Amino acid sequence: MKLFIGYRRKMLLLPFLFLVPALLLYAVFFVYPFLFTFLLSFQQWDMISPDRTFAGLSNYAELLRDEVFWMSLRNTFLYLLMTMPVSIGLGLGLALLMESLSRGRAAYRFLFYLPVVSPIAVVAILWSLMYDHRRGVVNMLLTFFGIDGPNWLSDATASLWAVAIVGIWRSFGYETLLYVSGLKSIDKGLYEAASIDGAGRLSRLVHITLPLLSPITLFMVIMGVISSFQNFTLIKIMTGGGPNNSSNVLVHQLYQEAFQFFSIGKAAAISVILFAIVLLISSAQLRLSRSAVHYS
């Protein structure tokens, strides 16, 4: 209460004036749809018929019994684990490599960022062609190295990897770019001081560079979780979740429930669960990182 008294009227009014556009938009296009979705998760509806009936927790119960749901849940996490560490690791490695060069940095940055700006629909169609068992460029390259590549999109053990590789291809350039800009803003004096103290390359990397990059890493991890949980277009176009749900993920299953099986309630229940998971992970990350992340 004391806080309130401390503010002058104007100081309360002005910030809200600036927030009005955002808040209004969020209210109409985020809060309401989300509440509506939440409500729908307790109902049974096919989106068209007039009757929407209260269904209690039955949508959730049905999901827990649904083996496709567990498969999608598992794949959602697997996809995250397949893509994010590789993508961030590649980004860091490339950024360090590039920044230590005396020339050619801009060219590499441009090339590595190309996949990020490629339209995702194009990427999905293009890679589907590249993954062709016999004639695709992926297996041709693998054969060149003496590896007999799998039937990527039609093999239940390879399909999620196939999508994950595209996910990595599409995202590591962004990570590289962020790390490059992070490295640029590190005070070179710190390295010089450390060198004078006799610190080697590795020690400088571990004791100066990595800690100073940790806020960026945290940002990437959080954004990585969010974006990998939203991975819809690639799955939809490349595998449709198949074969036998081996590449199905929650966002794709929710789409199937809504638009192919006409179960809006079940789709809404998946939405709510998906949201809860992302929220849980992100807040856990933030909390854990409070201690681990170095703020200069």
Partner 1 sequence: MKKTMMGLLLLSLSVAASACGSGSNGASPPASPSGSGGAASLQPSEPVEIEFWNIWGGELIDSLVNEYNSSQSKVKVKSVFVQNGYEGIVEKLQVQAAAKKLPDIVSNGLLYTRFANDVMHASPLEPFIERDGYDMSDFFPTMLNLGKNEQGQLIGLPYGISTPILYYNADHFQAAGLDPDNPPQTWEEFPEVAKQLTRDGHYGASVPIDFGWLYQALMETYGGSMMSADGKTVGLDSEASVNAVQAVVDMVKTDQSMPLLQLMQTFESMAKGDVSMLANTTAGLGTILPTAQFDLRTAPFPTYGGERVVPAGGANLMIFAQDPVKQEAAWEFLKFLIDPKRSVQISKSTGYMVSRQSALDEPEMQKFLEENPVYKATYGQIDEMVPWFNFPGTGGTRVQKIISDQIQAALQGQKTPEDAMKEAAKQANALIQP
Partner 2 sequence: MTRYWKSMEETIKHMLLVALALLTMVPIIWMASISLRSEEYVFSGHIVWTGPLHWEGYVKALTEVPFFRWLANSLRIGALQTLGQMFVGVCAAFAFAYYRFPGRDILFLFVLMTMMIPMQVTLVPTYLIVNQMNALNTLAGVVVPHLASGFAIFLLRQSFLGIPKELAEAAAMDGAGAFRVLWTVYVRMSGTMLWTLGVIAFLANFNEFNWPLLVLTDPDQMPLPLAFQYFRTETQMDWGATMAIAALSMVPVLALYLIAQRHIVDGFAQSGLKG
Q: Which chain residues interact with partner 1 by CB under 8 A?
A: 16, 23-24, 27-28, 31-32, 35-36, 46-52, 68, 132-135, 151, 153-156, 239, 242-246, 256, 258-263
Q: How far is the CB of 228 from partner 2 (least distance, A)?
A: 11
Q: How far is the CB of 47 from partner 1 (least distance, A)?
A: 5
Give the DSSP letter of residue 43: E
As a whole number of angstroms, the distance between CA 21 and CA 10 comes to 18
Would you say 186 or 194 has its CB closer to partner 2?
186
Would you say 47 or 140 has its CB closer to partner 1?
47
Neighbouring C-beta atoms of residue 275, cutoff 10 Å: 14
The radius of gyration of the chain from alpha carbons, rounded to an integer in Å, stands at 24
- Give the pair of three-digit tokens for residue 296: 């200069």
Q: How far is the CB of 259 from partner 1 (least distance, A)?
A: 4
Neighbouring C-beta atoms of residue 199, cutoff 10 Å: 16
Binds 151: which of partner 1, partner 2, none (CB < 5-8 Å by kind): partner 1
Task: Give 243's contacts (C-beta < 8 A, 6+ positions apart).
Answer: 154, 155, 156, 159
- Residue pair 142/148 in contact by the 8 Å Cβ criterion: yes
Would you say 199 or 223 has its CB closer to partner 2?
223
Q: How far is the CB of 82 from partner 1 (least distance, A)?
A: 20
Would you say 156 or 210 has its CB closer to partner 2?
210
